[in-house]
Amino acid sequence: MISQTSAVLKANKAAGNGNLIGYFPAGYPTLDESIEASIAMCQNGVDVLELGVPYSDPVMDGIVIQEATMTALENGFKLKQTFDAVREITAKVDTPVLVMTYWNPVIQYGIENFARDLAAAGGAGLITPDLIPDEAAEWLEISDKYELDRVFLGTPSSSPERMKTACDLSRGFVYAVSTMGITGARAEVDANARKVVAKVREASETANTAVGIGISTADQVVEVNSYSDGAIVGSAFVRAYADGGVEALVAKTVELSARLKN
């Protein structure tokens, strides 16, 4: 099968462009507003959308995303609205939509139910921050059945063996965790980012890899694209939206993507 996400990443790179993968939480601040915001990101320079599922215990997320997802939950976000959001976004734009979700909501919905409904809504696959390949047997099988991408994480501390597993089992791209830490803007993306990407390249000749955690400026986006297949930005978008709504979000999207396109 051909991964829609992988096709987009490779096509942009082949054309000499970079890739910007943008995160936004479903249901933040409300479902409709999150759909509007996500579409605006896709129309203004985001190449792959990472749609976050609000979750009560997001251990991989810093305070900006924590606060946004808590707002979504307080405003009544329900898990099945994830599929409504994916459906409405993919109806308007061709951008691949990956859903970023902690694993318990998927288990409770039923892994197969979740995959079936995500595929039916036009979603491209899942990014699973707290599901390691070792625990993913059922997800591997079901994501094959529904032809969904599955993005596992590679980190500075991953052993060569684990990195190879992440590369072999990921589809779409490997999420290269740039630094030992949680989501949130950092002044400098760690030199670790280059090391992680180098580890991915050593482990696999074919796997795409995009760098995430801590990226918030156009300079960082350009730099990361010089040695990887894309830059992942989350907190900077959420903060822009929190400060100035869709207008500020669009401005941030344009700012971060402008220098990636020939």
Partner 1 sequence: MSEQNLRSHVGPYFGEFGGRFVPESLIAALDELEATYNTAKADPAFAIELAELHRTYTGRPSIITEAKRFAEHCGNDVRVFLKREDLNHTGSHKINNVIGQALLTKRMGKTRIIAETGAGQHGVASATAAALFGLECVVYMGEVDTERQALNVARMKLLGAEVIPVKTGSRTLKDAINEALRDWVANVENTHYLLGTVAGPHPFPTMVRDFHSVIGTEARQQMLDEFGFLPTALAACVGGGSNAIGLFHAFLDDADVKMFGYEAAGDGMDTPRHAATLNYGRPGVLHGARSYMLQDEDGQTMESHSISAGLDYPGVGPEHSWLKDLGRVEYRGISDAEAMDALRLLSRTEGIIPAIETSHALAGVIKLGKELPAGSSVLINLSGRGDKDMETAGKYFGLLDAAKAGN
Residue numbers of the site for partner 1 (CB under 8 A)? Answer: 55-60, 62-63, 66, 70, 73, 78-79, 103-109, 129-132, 134-135, 152-155, 157-159, 162, 166, 177, 180-182
| Beta carbon nearer to partner 1, 159 or 206 | 159
Backbone angles phi, psi at 150, to 5 degrees: -140, 120
Least gap, CB of 141 to partner 1 (angstroms): 17
Name the token pair of 92.
């308007």
Of 50, 88, 117, 223, the active-site residue reads 50
Q: Look up 88 and say whether it is catalytic.
A: no
Least gap, CB of 34 to partner 1 (angstroms): 16
Q: Look up 84 and say whether it is catalytic.
A: no
| Beta carbon nearer to partner 1, 28 or 103 | 103
Least gap, CB of 192 to partner 1 (angstroms): 11
- Express the helix, strand and coil content of the chain in percent, nearest 5 each: 50, 15, 35
Question: For residues 173-198, b (16+ Cβ closer than 10 Å) or e, as one string?
Answer: bbbbbbbeebbbbbeebbebbbebbe
Angstrom distance (rounded) from CA 122 to CA 157: 34
- Structural contact between residues 94 and 122, judged by C-beta atoms closer than 8 angstroms: no
| Beta carbon nearer to partner 1, 8 or 197 | 197
Of 33, 47, 57, 61, the active-site residue reads 61
